[in-house]
Structure 1
Amino acid sequence: QSMMRRVLLILGCAVLSSSAAQGQLDRHRMEQVVDSIIGSYLVAEDYLTGGVVALVYPDGSSYLKGYGLADIAGRRPFDPKETVVEVASVSKLITTTAFLSLWEEGLVSLKDTVGRLLPGVDLNYDPARPVLVEHLLTHTSGLDDRMTYMESSTKEGIVPLQEFDRKYLPAVVWEPGRFFNYSNYGLNLLAEVVQQVSRRAFADVVRDRLLIPLDMDRSGIGYPPDLMPDLMHRYHLKADDNDSIFTEDQGVKWTNTPGANGFKTTAGDMARFIRMYLDSGRYQGQRILRQETVVDAWRTHFSPDTGLYYQQGLGWRILQKHGKRIVFHDGDDRGTESSLVLFPDKGFGYFTAFNDQVGASAKRAIRDALWELVHTDQVVRPKQFVHTSGLDRFTGVYLYMNDGQASFEKLTALLGDVRLEVVQLNDSTLGIDDRRYRALAPLLFEELEINSRVRFLEDDGRVTHLTFGSSTYRKVPAWKDPQWHQLALAASILIIIAAFLGWTLMGLTRIIRGRVRRPAWSHRAWIMADGTAILLFVVFLFITSRTTMLGKEVPTMLVAALTASLLAAVLFPLNLWAYSKLVRAEDVKKLVKWGYGLLVLAITIVLAILAAYHLIGYDFV
């Protein structure tokens, strides 16, 4: 909280000091504010390890600066011209730009089907609705998303681009062109489109069409040997048993998706990249992209509603509010936080990259501050709400659509925070995620306190989805609500544990009292074996969640967990057979039969939920 107060104070001072500028950029103040924000995070309790910034002004000049440490053990500071930084998803702008250079030459069309360009890539959804190149650029391909296999454990294990797209590409699970769902795999496919159309390696196309003309000699796709010694270290902040904060080195990220997150660069090189875009595709008199190409990339190519603040261009994200806009792309990964933001109407842009998770807060604070400093002439008009009747049709549970849907990673929907509940607060107000929204139009709502808008989507007059422009959620019936699944799963597992404890205590009691008798082992043992397999699944899954992050190969403990669930499913028919025998046994008390019946029901519920989340067997790809 104290950290946020300091940042808010900086933002407030920035707005007051720049009010007289009336639209002119106050460079000194902008640099001072950025320095102050980053400086405050460097000394915070949850501290920022380090990073770089590049501010690029309308006259082409730039402000470059490094902060903190790029390598803690070696005490190597960040240098804006020398330190090579990971940029995570800002790489997508490099992939986009390489594609745009081929597109404007007529070598590929936005309406080309990806399946035609990339033979062997499985994009089957509906032959009448193929995945187009445009869908890759606008994150509307309908591809499922998952983390597994995006990284390799070693450099030698990196999967070549063409092989990766055919072996590990997730399924198309949503109608192409209909919903925005951010896709790493979509931009990696675009990298292969670049490779296929140019008949050259993707990294070579980027080098020859962008890096050499822009004098970006400290940048590259993949792992250029001359850059690796100066690569920043990625860190993750953790707390020890005494709540003391320490940093953990994450090592090098060996990515299998170079088109999505494989670019490495310096702040100085990114300043040149920004300068090219701000100069309508030119750099030092050389044309890299046509002006009309740049303009087209920055216009809205997909949005359910032009009233939403977030829109999607060609590769570029668009944020527009109060008559002002920025085009941008963020990058975030474990130990990497980056952002590239352009203010096209002001001729200004900037780049930031940090090497731990605190950078996420720092880059948001910088964006908010620079928005106010650059857009001093923005006019915030009063919100014009309209009356919308029948708000109850919007209420219900909505699930995030960007989590794994077709593999075991659907588990994240069960365990993660992927649901929104929309409730009606009164005749004119909806509640979404503890925030209040009122209608600007029949399906468009705005939050009352902050700048957030949501658009509901209909199908045959029935509300089916909601979107913020930057993320999409689908409405589900109550029986598909993960919260109910969590409760049912927890209750069922408790019943299984209680049955085991009760069974053990009863056996010990009989032994102590000398009343040992031989139970119907052949019947009850199958039931208990099934329950044992489920408990093993829970134990192995817990160990996985505590020791492993998805992203690389499937963790061994997760394979063990899925093996246990598969064993439980195989034993289930024997479980039912054993219970039917137990029910008919005349020497078994009715209370015991009821107890085993409850146990069988609990096992049935667990297996049904595991099947719904692809957690039985080896559904890895």
Structure 2
Amino acid sequence: MHDEPRTDAERRALAAFTAAEPPPDFADRVLAAVAAEGQREPGHVPLGRLFGLGWPRLAGVAAAGVVAVAVAAVAAASAGWMPAWTGLSRHVPEVMPAEPARDDAPVTAALPPGPPTPALALPADLADRVDAYVGAFGRNYGDAFKFHGVVGVVKDGELVLTRGYGRADIERDSPIDADTKFKIGSLTQTFTAVAVLQLRDRGLVDLDAPVRKYIPDYPALGNRITVRHLLTHTSGIPSYTDAAVFAVGHTRAVAAADVRAIFQDIELEFAPGTDFDLSNSGYFMLGLLVEQVARQPFADYLRENVLAPAGMKNSGVGLAATALGHEFDENEVLVPAAQRHPSAYGAAAGMVSTAADLARWDRALRTPGLVLAQKSLDEMTTVVRDEYGMGWFVRTDATGPIAWHPGGVEGYNATIARFLGDGVTVFVLANTEAVDTRAIAYDVAQIAHGGDVAPPREYDEIRLSSAQLGRYVGTFALTETSHKQLKGLVEDGELLAIEQVRVFRTGDRLWMNVPEHGDKWMHFMGDDRFFFKDPSATIAEFGPPGAPVAHLTLQSGELRFILKKKE
């Protein structure tokens, strides 16, 4: 376990994403690598995100009834995408074969050749190794925790591997291939950034001009916020998708004014330019800025000026996805996830794309002059603050810089990682929330670079009778000592969410309830310990051994929460 708090980069990159969390060994690898680099710095941990109480996603809201006590670390927030293996995961059951791949056909965009890249020989057994790794998901936890989606590997602008797994619609036999359309959430922001930089390069937008120059009806604080602040997530505007009032878009299209009303009149989180925090609000505003300057809808500008030159015919804002988004309910069964209208997300997270098109997107970004000049392409992947440039998170390892981004909306999550130094790109699109694409992208990148990866950890469950489960029932409150210890690590407002939990039994199941966040099924693993069947690192342990239960310990990565049973 780790005693230090997360770095700001880890904390904010974690906040960028989506539903489920990476496997525990993955988190430990990342934290160990960062510790080795000596880059830890103090900061508050957003408890609601770490504990899954808000199911962290840059564009999305809490999934009802799913309260995973989870801790995660984002792959590219480590010291490179391929840190030394720590060997922390020792639970390695037999690897089950993956479902047959749906599409192996290469994809070629009608683009000029990209710049030369260093030679890198991909493993000859790349497909077999990816199949074995992906096929291990759900081997113990069941169908809901299998991977449904597509994995792609690009080398020097060509899609050399695309593997479809599972089904586009769980209720139907609908295969997934390179042309299956997925919602990609905040990966949209990589496209929005290009659109804004195009307008800057044409002399139509000044990045250092105040927002009100282009959106005159924005409140007066828009005179303090520049376009550059919006692009780099340094504006201080709170992200509207985190707001309790983000309840728009479920039944109909949403007017931009209704979305703006959620955030434009509330206090800034910090003075513009002084800090960094991911903000969907900022990128939603950038879409409106493009509309004002280009005098056409953002979706049209994007299609004509960014997607068409890149050869991306099956991508865009407002398109219908052909892969149906799913979440797992309290019974751990995949069910269709309630969807918002794309107008609720706009330029922040409203896009749909395919594996084939993301390969074309990568090639376009490696071809100067196609969608942006080389100077602007370099500017996007130059870190401004907290390992973020413009539209991309950026890390550097032995291969060179790595530009990456996660994304997710209800029922979907996605990750892309572009190794700028050796021509390799890995992307993963999923139409469930049960498996975190960050972990898969990280491990597939390891495989593509010749590394070894362990299968995801899935604990074995031990059955207990209803009478035995009754031993653990009760209400538990955070101890005063734990509260003091966590106060420096966890944001005050979010610590309230775990002040008290209730453990109850229904038939032969034990459940944990966190107020206002629903119930989570607890699975017994022996020695008074329980795990949760989402990909979390949390273990719930009751004690003392062999005596009436007096306390509950929730161990989640480096965080330990001790709760005392109430009389």
Q: Give the TM-score, by structure 2 length.
A: 0.57
Tell me which residue corresponds to 2:406: 330
The structure-2 alpha-carbon separation of the partners of 1:175 and 1:277, relative to structure 1 and needing over 3 Å to count, comes to same
How far the C-alpha of 1:150 sits from its partner, in A, is: 4.5
Letter in 1 for 2:322: L
Tell me which residue corresponds to 2:441: 366
Structure 2 counterpart SS, 1:71: coil
Q: Deviations over 1:17-48 (max 9, x none)?
A: xxxxx972315344333322222115451522
Residue 252, structure 1, aligned to residue 339, structure 2: yes
Residue 79, structure 1, aligned to residue 177, structure 2: yes
Whole-Å Cα distance in 2 between the matches of residues 342 and 143 of structure 1?
28
Whole-Å Cα distance in 2 between the matches of residues 123 and 251 of structure 1?
36
Q: Deviations over 1:181-202 (max 9, x none)?
A: 1111111111111111111110
Q: Deviations over 1:337-384 (max 9, x none)?
A: 101110001112122111222321x531431441474388xxxxxxxx
Residue 194, structure 1, aligned to residue 194, structure 2: no
Tell me which residue corresponds to 1:235: 326
The structure-2 alpha-carbon separation of the partners of 1:79 and 1:106, relative to structure 1 and needing over 3 Å to count, comes to same
Tell me which residue corresponds to 2:457: none
**Contact 1:122-1:166 within 8 A present in 2 as well:** no
Q: Deviations over 1:281-304 (max 9, x none)?
A: 5xxxxx22111111111111224x
Letter in 2 for 1:249: P
Structure 1 counterpart SS, 2:380: helix
Q: Give the TM-score, by structure 1 length.
A: 0.53
Whole-Å Cα distance in 1 between the matches of residues 191 and 299 of structure 2?
10
Tell me which residue corresponds to 2:122: 26
Q: Could you tell me which runs of 5 or more consecutive residues in structure 1 were left unpaired when the two chains were aligned.
A: 11-21, 282-286, 304-310, 377-413, 424-431, 434-472, 475-479, 491-540, 548-621
Identity of aligned residues (%): 23
- 1:46-65 mapped onto 2 (5 Å cutoff): 46=142, 47-58=145-156, 60-65=158-163
Whole-Å Cα distance in 2 between the matches of residues 123 and 35 of structure 1?
54
How far the C-alpha of 1:70 sits from its partner, in A, is: 0.9
Aligned residues: 365
Tell me which residue corresponds to 1:349: 425
- 1:156-171 mapped onto 2 (5 Å cutoff): 156=252, 158-166=253-261, 168-169=263-264, 170-171=266-267
Whole-Å Cα distance in 2 between the matches of residues 43 and 25 of structure 1?
31
The structure-2 alpha-carbon separation of the partners of 1:30 and 1:122, relative to structure 1 and needing over 3 Å to count, comes to farther
The structure-2 alpha-carbon separation of the partners of 1:325 and 1:200, relative to structure 1 and needing over 3 Å to count, comes to same
Whole-Å Cα distance in 2 between the matches of residues 215 and 93 of structure 1?
16
Letter in 1 for 2:425: G
The structure-2 alpha-carbon separation of the partners of 1:192 and 1:59, relative to structure 1 and needing over 3 Å to count, comes to closer
**Contact 1:151-1:254 within 8 A present in 2 as well:** no
- 1:127-526 mapped onto 2 (5 Å cutoff): 130-145=224-239, 146-148=242-244, 150=246, 152-156=248-252, 158-166=253-261, 168-169=263-264, 170-222=266-318, 224=319, 228=320, 231-240=322-331, 245-255=332-342, 256-280=344-368, 287-303=370-386, 311-321=387-397, 324-360=400-436, 362-371=437-446, 373-374=448-449
Tell me which residue corresponds to 2:214: 117
**Contact 2:497-2:515 within 8 A present in 1 as well:** no
Tell me which residue corresponds to 1:428: none
Letter in 2 for 1:290: A
The structure-2 alpha-carbon separation of the partners of 1:106 and 1:48, relative to structure 1 and needing over 3 Å to count, comes to farther
Whole-Å Cα distance in 1 between the matches of residues 188 and 226 of structure 2?
21
**Contact 2:188-2:347 within 8 A present in 1 as well:** yes
Structure 2 counterpart SS, 1:326: strand
Structure 2 counterpart SS, 1:205: helix
How far the C-alpha of 1:144 sits from its partner, in A, is: 1.7
Whole-Å Cα distance in 2 between the matches of residues 363 and 546 of structure 1?
25
**Contact 1:143-1:172 within 8 A present in 2 as well:** yes
**Contact 2:498-2:514 within 8 A present in 1 as well:** no
Q: Decide which structure has the larger Cα Rg and report it.
A: 1
How far the C-alpha of 1:153 sits from its partner, in A, is: 4.7
Tell me which residue corresponds to 1:37: 133
Letter in 1 for 2:449: V
The structure-2 alpha-carbon separation of the partners of 1:155 and 1:202, relative to structure 1 and needing over 3 Å to count, comes to farther
Letter in 2 for 1:51: G
Whole-Å Cα distance in 2 between the matches of residues 7 and 221 of structure 1?
41
CA-based RMSD: 3.6
How far the C-alpha of 1:271 sits from its partner, in A, is: 1.0
How far the C-alpha of 1:97 sits from its partner, in A, is: 1.6
Structure 1 counterpart SS, 2:149: strand
**Contact 2:170-2:334 within 8 A present in 1 as well:** no
Letter in 1 for 2:259: F
Whole-Å Cα distance in 2 between the matches of residues 45 and 355 of structure 1?
18
Q: 1:96 aligns with which of 193, 198, 203?
A: 193
The structure-2 alpha-carbon separation of the partners of 1:133 and 1:76, relative to structure 1 and needing over 3 Å to count, comes to same
**Contact 1:87-1:331 within 8 A present in 2 as well:** yes
Letter in 2 for 1:57: K
Letter in 2 for 1:237: F
Structure 1 counterpart SS, 2:396: strand
How far the C-alpha of 1:214 sits from its partner, in A, is: 2.2
Whole-Å Cα distance in 1 between the matches of residues 282 and 293 of structure 2?
16
Q: Deviations over 1:506-560 (max 9, x none)?
A: xxxxxxxxxxxxxxxxxxxxxxxxxxxxxxxxxxx9996449xxxxxxxxxxxxx
**Contact 2:236-2:269 within 8 A present in 1 as well:** yes
How far the C-alpha of 1:332 sits from its partner, in A, is: 2.6
**Higher RCO, 1 vs 2 (CA within 8 Å, ≥6 residues apart):** 2
The structure-2 alpha-carbon separation of the partners of 1:484 and 1:137, relative to structure 1 and needing over 3 Å to count, comes to closer
The structure-2 alpha-carbon separation of the partners of 1:152 and 1:33, relative to structure 1 and needing over 3 Å to count, comes to farther
Whole-Å Cα distance in 2 between the matches of residues 355 and 87 of structure 1?
10
Tell me which residue corresponds to 2:561: none
Whole-Å Cα distance in 1 between the matches of residues 251 and 493 of structure 2?
41
The structure-2 alpha-carbon separation of the partners of 1:9 and 1:74, relative to structure 1 and needing over 3 Å to count, comes to closer
Tell me which residue corresponds to 1:108: 205
Whole-Å Cα distance in 2 between the matches of residues 484 and 84 of structure 1?
39
